[in-house]
Amino acid sequence: MAETASTEATAQSGGRLRWVILGILALASIAAGFALPWLFSAWASSKRDAHATPRPPPKESVEKTAFVSFGDVVVNLHEERLTRYLRLKIVLEVEESEEKDIQELLNKRKAPLKSWLISYLADRTLDEVRGTVGINRIRREIRDHFNEMLYPDGREVIRQVHFEEFTVQ
């Protein structure tokens, strides 16, 4: 009977020891999981930097840009209770070689472009023209539509639409 009590005590202490060892192994595995990616990335970047050949600076083969003024647009925003208006001064960014062509096209097609722009902006609410996301969306949609109206063949001559003035009152 004394032997069975000592055997049970040994079995219990052996069971606890097993759980402690498993816990220590689990913590070591978790720590290694966090530390190894940092060590590996530091090692890889140092190895990459050691073997990297210096690159010459890029040549300026990029075509120069030109800015073509479209003009001012003032529009009432689509607000139910308040009378708010948006005032824009638009400048189009194009390649320098396309500047004369785009200027001529704008002079010929200014009325339909401005009409579309007024209709488009009049449908916007104050929340839609507020913040960077709203302004960037408006710039992108104006650029896409102007390119589509001026160049139905799918060319994208207008690179960006910039606002010299963007006032909401």
Q: Compute the distance between CA of residue 126 and CA of residue 84 in angstroms, rounded to an integer.
A: 8
What value does the mean pLDDT take over residues 112-137?
94
Of 33-42, 44-53, 80-89, the range with the highest mean pLDDT is 80-89
Span 65-120, pLDDT tens digits? 999 999 999 999 998 888 899 999 999 999 999 999 999 999 999 999 999 999 99
- CATH number for the domain running over 65-168: 3.30.479
What would the pLDDT profile of 142-162 be if each residue is shown by its tens digit?
Answer: 999 999 999 999 899 999 999
Residue-level pLDDT at 50 = 56
Question: So what's the pLDDT on residue 62?
Answer: 62
CA distance 162 to 169: 20
Helix axes 131-150, 99-122, angle to 10 degrees: 120
**Domain map of the chain by residue range?**
1-48, 65-168
Stated length of the chain: 169
CA dist 97 and 104 (Å) reads: 13
Residue 26 parent element (H or E): helix 2-51
State the Cα–Cα distance between residues 38 and 44, nearest whole angstrom: 10
pTM for this model (two decimals): 0.63
